[in-house]
Amino acid sequence: MDGRERVVDSHFPTCKCLLERALRCGFPMGGGFLNASFGLRAGVKASAVEARGMGRNGVLARIAFALLFLAGLAAMLPAPARAAEKPLLAFSARVAGDDARTRIVIDFEQKPEFSVHYVAAPERVIIDLPATAFGFPAENLSPRGLFRDIRYGTMDETSARIVLTARKPVKLALAEVQPNDDGSYRLVLDAEMTSGEAFAELVKTQSWDMPAAPARDPLAMVEKDDVFTVAVDAGHGGIDAGATGAGTKTPEKTITLAFARILADRLNRIDGVKAFLTRDDDTFLSLSERVTLARQGHADLFISLHADTLAQKDIRGATVYTLSDRASDRMAENLAARENLSDELAGFSIKSGPPEVADILLDLARRETQAFSTALAANVVESFEGQVGLINNPHRYAGFQVLRAPDIPSVLLELGFLSNEEDEKLLLDESWRGKVAERIADAVRRYRDRAVQNGG
Ligand SMILES: [Zn+2]
């Protein structure tokens, strides 16, 4: 038994002792801690009231007795325990996010030093902390999003650890301590999905002697380079087939993938432009995964491709959608609602949005990004006019989840409607696909040229 355990086991007949014990034991207790703390404060108040009612000598005698008592207690404590620092108090925690990005926030009374490490098989992220009392209910850190298990606790008398077991390869895009308004601090851990190779590299190159904690502005993650990168997103995939062709019964996911490949090829022919596909086979991607892949690929533009159905079978032509909290019209609203169901169809929950989206910087970026998205949409419509069939009011907007990257101008293109047999024929036609891809590539080129001119 070491000194620390003895401290935990000794009995102090004061309210403070309950608090100390709880702190040192490191059990998640949340409300229990709050009560203990309140009890302590209430006790102090009661003493003050008593003191006012007593004579001066009585107060002095009490203080003297209290000091003697405390001195006696201190003498009873083993030396190492007295020397050991008071553990940090982690008093609240929360986790939010989805299968592509997950944020964990832990509030501390004092500023915590920490280090981050990665361990393979299964993929884990390890956060090492000084001695810490975890004073929040265990359910605050219930596993979700990228993590299937979250554990935390004391390692020895000077250290504590948080172990995040991931569902797939992850990396921390951000790990830093930020000040709270009330003088406390929060440890913010932003995890993002990554490739198996990237995770293996993290494990291999890290040093356990040095703190490996990246601290980066999430907005700085889209690095500026000379290459203009376009993420081409083939809508649907895998278990989510999307719409079905009226005549041939071809699934939307097949049409979008074939078209995405042609578009990426046309874009890659433009000097200084590099296109990549979010999916290059028939696999399911959640909407958040698509956005995350675009950000990780440092995309300057995001183009999601679709070909949906409508109840009115005579409606045909292409539509360009941008993001808006309010839909331009009922058709746009319904379409966004259907597209947003994609995650649910595949068994994913869509109840969690991106974590703490209210961040002011992200909001500003979003507004600027929206202006660029609208400019790109206008360019696409311009490129299509007289060349490719468009519906009435071809630039529409609604709350598409897949267009929610705060820092990448994004559009969703409905190339035509699979509910219309004429459109379906075109959507399956090789030469039509080539022509439309050419027009989109031209719109991107003009957009890029204007962005470069304006120093973007
Ligand atoms: Zn679709």
* pLDDT at res. 42: 34
Instruction: Tell me the Cα Rg of the chain.
Output: 29
Same-domain check for residues 411 and 329: yes
Residue ending a domain, among 42, 58, 83, is 83
pLDDT tens-digit series, residues 39-79: 333 333 333 333 344 445 555 555 555 554 545 444 444 44
Residue ending a domain, among 55, 83, 111, is 83
Grouping H, G, I as helix, E, B as strand and the rest as coil, residue 113 is coil
Residue 385 has pLDDT above 80, yes or no: yes
Q: pLDDT band at residue 13, thresholds of 50, 70 and 90?
A: very low
Domain assignment of residue 237, yes or no: yes
Same-domain check for residues 171 and 235: no
Ligand 1 center from residue 401 Cα (angstroms) = 12
Ligand 1 center from residue 321 Cα (angstroms) = 12
Same-domain check for residues 107 and 162: yes
Tokens (6 digits) for 270? 């433009």
- Where do we find the tokens 């009435």? 392
Ligand 1 center from residue 241 Cα (angstroms) = 9
| DSSP classification of residue 397 | E
Ligand 1 center from residue 417 Cα (angstroms) = 10
Ligand 1 center from residue 280 Cα (angstroms) = 16
Same-domain check for residues 96 and 148: yes
Same-domain check for residues 268 and 402: yes
**Beta strand pairing call for 228-234 and 301-306:** parallel
Instruction: Determine if the pTM surpasses 0.75.
Output: no
Same-domain check for residues 319 and 178: no
pLDDT tens-digit series, residues 409-455: 999 999 999 999 999 999 999 999 999 999 999 999 999 998 877 76
Same-domain check for residues 139 and 192: yes
Same-domain check for residues 247 and 387: yes
Number of domains present in the structure of the chain = 3
Ligand 1 center from residue 375 Cα (angstroms) = 22
Tokens (6 digits) for 80? 């190492």
* pLDDT at res. 365: 60
Domain assignment of residue 144, yes or no: yes
pLDDT tens-digit series, residues 128-138: 999 999 999 99
CATH number at residue 399: 3.40.630.40
Domain assignment of residue 60, yes or no: yes
Alpha helices by DSSP H, 77-195: 79-83
Same-domain check for residues 247 and 165: no
Range of the domain at 395: 228-453
